[in-house]
Amino acid sequence: MSTSVSAVYLHVVDAVVSKLRDEFINEGVDDSVLNELQGLWELKMMQCGVVQGPIERNSAPRGSGVPTPVHDLNVPYEGTEEYETPTAEMLFPPTPLQTPMQTPLPVEPGAYPYTPVGHSEYGTVPDTGAASADMKAGKPAPYMQPPSPWMNQRPLGVDVNVAYEEAREDEEGGGISQPQPPIKDFFMMTSGKRKREDYQPHILPNGYIPQQDGSGDSLDCSLQEKIQLCCLCLPWRKLNLMKNPIAQNSSNEAYAGTLHNRLKLQERKKADAAIASIIRMRRHSLTIPQCDGFDDVYDDGVRTEDYNTPSYYDPIPGNEVGTPKRTKAEASEDEEPPLNEDDDDEVDDLEQGDEEPNTNHLVLAQFEKVNRTKSKWKCTLKDGIMRLNNKDILFTKANGDFDF
Partner 1 sequence: MATFELYRRSTIGMCLTETLDEMVSNGTLSPELAIQVLVQFDKSMTEALETQVKSKVSLKGHLHTYRFCDNVWTFILQDATFKSEECQENVGRVKIVACDSKLLSQ
Residues found near partner 1 in the complex (CB under 8 A)? 2-3, 7-9, 11-13, 15-16, 19-20, 23-24, 27, 29, 33, 36-37, 40-41, 44-45, 48, 50, 83, 85, 117, 351-353, 355-356, 360-368, 370, 377, 379, 381-389, 391-404
Taking the complex as a whole, the smallest distance from the CB of residue 323 to partner 1 amounts, in Å, to 43
DSSP 297: B
How far apart, in whole angstroms, are the C-alpha atoms of residue 290 and residue 297? 10
Residue 223: count other Cβ atoms within 10 Å of its Cβ: 22
Distance CA 337, CA 268 (A): 47
Closest to partner 1 by CB, 45 vs 135, is 45
Q: Which is nearer to partner 1, 283 or 382 (CB)?
A: 382
Packing angle between helix 5-27 and helix 31-48, nearest 10 degrees? 160
Shortest distance (Å) from residue 19 CB to partner 1: 6
Q: Closer CB to partner 1, residue 11 or residue 270?
A: 11
Cα 376 off chain centre by: 51
Amino acid, single-letter form, for residue 39: G
Q: Shortest gap between Cβ of 36 and partner 1 (angstroms)?
A: 7
Q: Which is nearer to partner 1, 7 or 273 (CB)?
A: 7
Which residue number, 30 or 306, has a Cβ lying nearer to partner 1?
30
Residue placing its CB nearer to partner 1 in the complex, 226 or 387: 387
Instruction: Write down the least CB distance from residue 195 to partner 1, Å.
Output: 52
Radius of gyration of the chain (CA): 40
* Residue 65, Ramachandran bin (φ over 0: left; ψ between -120 and 50: alpha; else beta): left
Q: Is the Cβ of residue 312 or residue 377 nearer to partner 1 in the bound state?
A: 377
Name which of 49 and 123 has its Cβ closer to partner 1: 49
How many of the other CB atoms lie within 10 Å of CB of 383? Answer: 13
Neighbours of 123 (CB within 10 A): 10
Residue 136: count of CB within 10 angstroms of its CB = 17
Tell me the closest approach of the beta carbon of residue 1 to partner 1, in angstroms: 10
**Amino acid, res. 20:** L
Q: Which long-range contacts (CB under 8 A, 24 or more apart) does 67-73 make?
A: 68/35, 71/39, 73/39, 73/42, 73/43, 73/46
Residue 372 CB, shortest distance to partner 1, in Å, is: 9
**Which residues, listed in sequence order, are joined to residue 382 by a DSSP beta bridge?**
366, 397
Phi then psi dihedrals of residue 292, to 5 deg = -125, 15
Q: How far apart are the two ends of the chain, measured CA to CA in Å? A: 36
Query: Shortest gap between Cβ of 289 and partner 1 (angstroms)?
Result: 42
The least CB distance from residue 190 to partner 1, in Å, is: 48
Q: How far is the CB of 50 from partner 1 (least distance, A)?
A: 5
Q: Nearest-CA neighbor of 363 among 376, 378, 382?
A: 382
Q: Taking the complex as a whole, how short is the minimal distance between the CB of residue 139 and partner 1, in angstroms? A: 19
Q: Which is nearer to partner 1, 58 or 190 (CB)?
A: 58
Minimum CB separation of residue 126 from partner 1 in Å reads 25
Nearer to partner 1, 26 or 250 (CB): 26
**CA nearest neighbour of 177 among 151, 158, 155, 138:** 151
- Could you count the other beta carbons within 10 Å of the beta carbon of residue 151? 19
> CB neighbours of 165 closer than 8 A, spacing ≥ 6?
151, 157
Who contacts 242 (Cβ-Cβ below 8 Å, separation ≥6)?
Answer: 258, 261
Of 71 and 325, the one with the shorter C-beta distance to partner 1 is 71
